[in-house]
Each structure stands twice: as structure tokens, then as C-alpha cells.
Structure 1
Amino acid sequence: MKTSDFNFDLPDELLAEHPAPNRDESRLMVLNRATQTIEHKLFKDVIDYFDEKDLFIFNNTKVFPARLYGNKEKTGAKIEVFLLRELDKETKVWDVLVDPARKIRIGNKLFFTEDESLVAEVIDNTTSRGRTLRFLYDGSYEEFRSKLRELGNTPLPKYITREVEPEDEERYQTIYAKEEGAVAAPTAGLHFSRHLMKRLEIKGIDFAEVTLHVGLGTFNPIEVEDLSKHKMESEEAKITQENADIINKALDENRRICAVGTTTMRTLETSVSSNNRLGQYHGWTNKFIFPPHDFGIANAMITNFHTPKSTLLMMIAAFAGKDFLLEAYHTAIKEKYKFYTYGDAMLII
């Protein structure tokens, strides 16, 4: 498979700048792999495709406000700092991205508050934009994390050119988010409302959760033509034994099992055993899924519409079938579905 096999023309106006007014009233395209047919619905209609004891698996990661703004010592230049991952809890060392990067060198200090209560020192260069920072804060770890949340901004994707609005803090987070650690939302889950979740529960549909802390590496462009040579950045993933048991029971009973989002699917495919069962798991995954791929757990999935030549699009192509998926994408463009983070949804069964 080649990267160019997954290219298509996507009009800029189809990139969603705002979420739908109501979470569960975005549009839903339903792809039936058996019949090779496409239906057009609203997201709340997803309940019609599932029966009692079927299973939805959600990624319960929680986005933290990862975008900070500081000032460089001496010059006072404004610097954006995007928190990627915590490397050391005790010493408050983080991997970050900085912008503009050319101004930030090892030894520089950045000030985030006027009273200089939160300062960071650059201790390493990692990539052209990447730096390692040691935060200097006179307080407990819990107070430090609270200060980061206070100063941080919702990390909307760069393609959204408008200013962050008050509603983004709530809408750029799933309603079931629990485990803080993601710098980007698991966007398929943004369509679930509390009302829809209650309707699913009343119908007798079961729920399970996994955790994958979404990093920016998921969205890195592929810079090679041969997909087998692309390397994904690692992301932390967890499955508890309790949730593994719920999923294995659904497998034993031949239920419909729906992975909500590509991050959920990556977690399942990383941890599945050779006999297609799950156990407790906590580790890191850099798994890159592209066609052909045999999926071991889920037989349905919900996802958003993704951008050309993205790793997310390639995973969906492996699940739906590349030709069928690209046909569906051309239909989506013709029907003016909204793409990307705040865009519309697709159910593949």
C-alpha cells in the first residue's frame, strides 16, 4: 500500500470549525460492509443498529488544557508551549512543542505568570519544534497540576482558525472522560450525549471502557510513500481486567462489538491475544494499522471523517475496505458532510 492511494480532494469549507448545536444531532453515514450500501442518518439514530447485549467500547481519556503561553526571559517574547507528555512527575519534566521554536534554546527560561510563580527552563532539544522543559514551581504536585489547568487553553487543532470559545472547554471533551492525559480529543466520542447514552442503556446495550491518551503523533503527516516504513509515535494505553472481562463475554456470545473511535480500535488491536481475547493491559502502543489487517475484537466501529493521506483514514480503510471507504468519502464530499474534529460521524457495520 502507498500513501498516495489514500489521497482525495477535500474542500476547505468542509472542515468543521464548530461542533453541531447538539452532540447527537450531527450527521451519520452508515456503511454496511456486507451489502456495500450507504445510508444517511442523524447520529442519534445509531441506536437502531444495535440490540440488547451488544457492546460499545469507549476511550475514557480526558483532554487537559495543554496549550500555554509564556514569555521568554529578558526579551519578553511571547512563546506558545504545547504540553505533550509528562516525563517525570517528581522533577516536573515535560516534553513540549514550542512556537516560534527558533527563539528557544537550551538554558532559556519561560515565565508563565507575572509573579514568576511558574517558570520553566529548557533542558533539551528533541525535534525542530520539540523541547524538554523542567517546570519550577514552589508547591505540591497537585497544586502544580492545578496551576497548569488554570493557565492552559483548550488545545483545539490548528486547522480551526477561530479563537477558542467558552463552549469549547465542554464540547472538546467526551461526556464520559475520566482519565486525564490526552492532548487531543478522541473525536468519535464527542457525538454521544447523556440522553443518547441513557437510551442505549435502557435498550440493554452494554458499555466497556479502555484508555488511550491521544498524542499529536496520531496526526503527524506521513512523509514516506511506502506505508510499511512509517513510524507512529507511542501513546499510553490501558485496559482493566474488569473491562477485558466485559469484552470477552461479548465475544463469547457473538455480540456486535462497536469500537468508538480509532483510538479505541488501536488499543484493542495492540492488546488482543493470538486467540482473540483480552486481558489486563498497561503499556505503550505505536501500532500503525493499514490495509490489509485482520481485526480481532470489534466488528463495528464509529469514527469521524478524516483528512487525506492520514493514518486515521488508513485504519478505517483497513476496516471498511479501501475502495468502499473511498467511495463513501466521495459521497460525503458530494453531500457536504463535515470533516475532522468537530465534523460528522460514520458507522461501519
Structure 2
Amino acid sequence: TLNIGSDFHSHPKAPSIAMECQILRNGCRRAIGACQRRQFHSTQKQPATVQPQGDITPASEIQFTEDPDQFAPGSRQQSTRRQPRFQMMESRPRDERGDGNQRRFVGGSRGNDQRQNPILRRIRIVPASPSYFTATPRYTDDLLELTALLRKHTTLPVLPPGEAPRVAWKTIDQYKAEIAEPIRAKSYKMLLDLLKRLNYIHPSLIPEEVSQALDKFKKLVQPHHNAAKPIVVDAWGRAKAVGKRKSSVAGVFVVEGDGQVMVNGRSLTEYFGRLHDRETAIWGLKVTQRVDKYNVWALVKGGGTTGQADAIALGVAKALLAHEPALKPALRQGGVITRDPRSVERKKPGKLKARKMPAWVKR
């Protein structure tokens, strides 16, 4: 034996002794493990008892309902679906269950009436249009519809260029708000080109389906159909017209007479102090040489004297055309039957008036 003490590491045989100790330790561990395995396999195990099993039966069929959340998480049907698909019948003697070849179905009949339930057809949702999967389905449907109509009726006679009925089509903003889809200006122009081409079909031969397709893209109010009511002479020989200039509005009655002019119940010379305003008010009668053949009764309000005189002149010219329509070229040449749209320009911030700037100071 070796006296292994504090000077073990300094002993010349220390490395070989440490290796032998490690080998002995591993061998003991292997021997102990082999004995434990031998003892485990030598023990006698109790055989497992076989439990009698009953017949395997299918689960109840799924009952489809009108509820769209029938199979949602937490619903009653969903909890039923989580049950096993096959249920075990209670184990009973064969003589109590009847014939062993028969299997009892649990839950509901298995007739063809349930297999052909019409509700099953609504499980798979079919898109209403083939363009459903495009970015703009409604626009695509409209484009295809107009293209098909043009291809179908392309042989119908059309009107000469520039003689098609005037139509105010919906703007791109109105169309986008109606279909709720992002439409580019280039795409909408393609739609308008088809509409204009279909609008050139002769009105006496245009099919009903084309007219209905065009009506969907027309504005609700067509400004081209709005015509001013013609001025007529009433039973008392009066022709009434309205004239406007700036913020002045004048209602004028013209009747055959001896040349009297009344403005707001006063004579022309009394109401207008300036000679220029007096001549302007009856300028339509002067250019047609009808000053002494008609009487004028005017009711004017708003604005200044210049605006009121121009408003009366426009009303007199319109009423004079009701008496003598042939005077229109002379009145147009005199410049009294055209409405003057000019108005006072508004004042801007930083300026003294509409355009006047304050004096610039160098220092």
C-alpha cells in the first residue's frame, strides 16, 4: 500500500494511481446498473385485464341552421363538433342488445332529405359578378357592359359628327362616390368614350337597352334642357322682363304708348340726376327709334344709379323683343340685350382697395 497523504501529487506514481481509481469507479457503476436491470426483468408482471368493449357507432349528423355564427368559437354547434365522431354504446349482454350485426344509429335519421338540404348550397358563397376578384369590380362590369352593347349595335346608323344630342355626363368624382371605388382619370375617359360613341346612334333607331345604359351615367339635372321661359305680351298689352347689373335688379313693364318713362313712381328726369344715366336707361328705345311709341314702368332696387340704369336698359330691351322680335339684331348691335357679368372686385388684405397698394417708403 501507498501512503497517500499531503505529498500525493509529488509522488512519482501519482498519474497512474489516479487513472486506476477512475477505471475502478466506472466498472463499479456498470456492474451496479447491470444488476438492477437483471432484477427488473426477472420480476413477474401482472397481466392487464381486458375490458369488454361495446359496438362502435357513428356520432349524430350535423344539423345546419340559418344562424351564420353556427360554427363560431363558443357556439353550441361548435362545442358539439368537438365531441368524438364515434360513440361507444354501453356494454350489455348480446341477448339484451339484440342481433350483434345490427348497429344502432345515435341521433337523427339518415334519409336523403337531410343530405339534400337546400341550406348546404349557401355554405359556399358564390360572387355575384365575375369581376369580384378585380380591384374595381363595379367599374369593370360597367366597362364590359358598354363594350358588349357597342359590339352588338355597331352596325346601326349614326348621326353626323357634331350633331349628337347634348348630354351632361357624371363627373369622375360623382362616379367614384357612387360606386365607392378608386377610379383613375384615364380609366374614366375610356368609359366616357364608349358613352359618347353610343350616344351617336340615331335617336329613332337607338335600342331600349342602350338608352337605359346611357341614363345611368347622365346627371340628374341636364342644364342643356333648361330653357328660359319666353316673354309674352299679356291681355293688357304688357310685356314684363327682369334686368340685372351688379347688385341692382329691375322689373320693367313695356306697353304701347306715347313715350312716358316712370321709375319707382317718379319720372325719368326726376329719378336720375345725371344725363348719362337717363340715356342709358332708355338706350334700347333710342337705337331702334321707338322712344315715342312705348311707355315704360320700372321698379328697381339695390346698387347705385349707374347699376340701376343698366338694369333698366336690359329689362327694356328684353320686353321690347316680346313686342317686336325683328329688332333683335339692332338691339344686339347696340349692346343692350347681353347681361354684363362684371361686379365689384373684393378688397384684398394688405391693400387699400381691391388692387391699390399703400405708398412705398424707402426708410
Tell me which interval the TM-score lies in, with the shorter structure as reference length: under 0.3
TM-score, with structure 1 as normaliser: 0.18
Considering only CA atoms, is the larger Rg found in Structure 1 or Structure 2? 2
TM-score, with structure 2 as normaliser: 0.18
Higher relative contact order (CA 8 A, sep 6+): 1
